[in-house]
Amino acid sequence: MAYHEQYFSHADGSYVPASIAQTTKEIPLSTALLDGVTKVIKLLVLIVPVLLRDFVQLLLPAQKKSIKGQVALVTGGGNGLGRALCLRLAQEGCAVAVADIDLPSAQNTAKEVRNRYGVNAEGFRVDVADHQSVAELRKRIESALGPVDILVNNAGLLAMLSLSEGSVQDVQRIINVNLLSHFWTIREFKDGMVERRRGHIVAISSILGILPNGRSICYNTTKFGVRGLMASLNDELYSDGLAEHIHTTCVYPAGIKTRKDFVDFVKDLKLTIPWHSPEYVAEATVTGMLTNKTDLIASSTIVKFLCYCYPLFPKSFVRLATDVMVGKCPPLTRRSSLK
Ligand SMILES: NC(=O)c1ccc[n+]([C@@H]2O[C@H](COP(=O)([O-])OP(=O)(O)OC[C@H]3O[C@@H](n4cnc5c(N)ncnc54)[C@H](O)[C@@H]3O)[C@@H](O)[C@H]2O)c1
């Protein structure tokens, strides 16, 4: 039985604990030392050209790749950031598959894309949380526009629930739409990219995928999850020798003025968060993608600084800095969110 098949069968009593001898073999000290020193020397030799290349790349202006004529799929493309991304990708000459659970909005975006940029665009209905719906979407896009070269996982629910808010179904839905959906779309579209040795997978996370927030635990968890998924996917592509052909970009926006209800909700909390237009975030995303950036914070320099420094500062400092600069989240009983 393969390892991953055994993994699912613990309940039937087939669990076999590892023996100590299996994990700790006695290695003589001299052998261990020699092995360690050899590895350090090998690393020092190999790291020199890598550091030199990275240093030269830092000095040179980033080269933008062309995506003209490629097919881009944007989930949640009917409204908000997704709509702005569809238009920005069309401006680069892409054909655009606008996929959304809200079909009329997806069709409106597709029409706007065609009218403004004269490229091919179609609206499709999909529930990204449903694997079958995503599988059918691939077939429909391939027959209408051709295979997908650029996958933008943007669809998400801006549900700001603490751990104690919302129903069991709300929690499941947020995780399914914001995180699990990325597995379904990547599994469905990556194989074609591998076959054609060409592709780019983009995910919209959030600065709440870097900075914790106890008042939106479920959302934060999904956005941290997206960040982990994208970093791991990037590593898998590297391990498979595909890093030069298929690229990944994970985007961390701050506030985006998309839905009125969401902006009003945050305003009621009296928090000072940096707001940007969907066009600003779409511009940062596509520019980052064209230069094959793996991670990008789509916000101001101060937000970038806070995100980069967050893991370096002691918790007490970060808490104080957040309270002073962003404001203190009101108690749950005073929030206007779901209960
Ligand atoms: N608005 C912000 O302040 C903000 C900040 C950081 C990150 N983000 C992220 O940016 C992305 C887009 O957010 P937005 O503000 O444009 O949201 P939005 O609500 O304006 O648009 C989301 C779109 O996704 C669609 N959608 C929802 N569930 C879907 C499903 N199951 N299947 C397919 N489509 C579905 C909706 O119909 C809608 O058209 C999200 O992932 C969000 O988490 C937003």
Domain membership flag for residue 136:
yes
| Model pLDDT for residues 33-67, shown as the tens digit of each residue | 999 999 999 999 999 988 998 888 888 888 899 99
Q: In a mutational test of the pocket of ligand 1, which residue from 74, 75, 79 has the highest number of ligand atoms less than 8 Å from its CB?
A: 79
Choosing from 3, 117, 219, 308, which is the catalytic residue?
A: 219
Cβ atoms 161, 217 nearer than 8 A = yes
Domain membership flag for residue 245:
yes
Domain membership flag for residue 32:
no
The residue segments making up the domain with residue 139 are 71-334
Domain membership flag for residue 46:
no
Q: Label residues 22-52 b or e (16+ Cβ within 10 Å = b).
A: eeeeeeeeeeeeeeeeeeeeeeeeeeeeeee
Evaluate: CB of 82 within 6 angstroms of ligand 1: yes
Cβ atoms 69, 83 nearer than 8 A = no
Evaluate: CB of 250 within 6 angstroms of ligand 1: no
Domain membership flag for residue 56:
no
Residue 47 Cα to ligand 1 midpoint, Å, equals 41
How far is it, in rounded angstroms, from Cα 148 to Cα 98? 12
Name the residue among 293, 220, 255 with its Cα closest to residue 65: 293
Evaluate: CB of 102 within 6 angstroms of ligand 1: yes
Domain membership flag for residue 96:
yes
Evaluate: CB of 86 within 6 angstroms of ligand 1: no
Residue 104 Cα to ligand 1 midpoint, Å, equals 16
Give me the CATH number covering residue 111: 3.40.50.720
Domain membership flag for residue 24:
no
pLDDT of 221 > 50? The answer is yes
- pLDDT value, residue 137: 98
The total number of structural domains in the chain stands at: 1
Q: What is the mean pLDDT of residues 198-216?
A: 95
Q: What is the mean pLDDT of residues 130-158?
A: 98
Domain membership flag for residue 150:
yes
Confidence label for 24 from pLDDT (cuts 50, 70 and 90): low
Say whether 219 is catalytic: yes
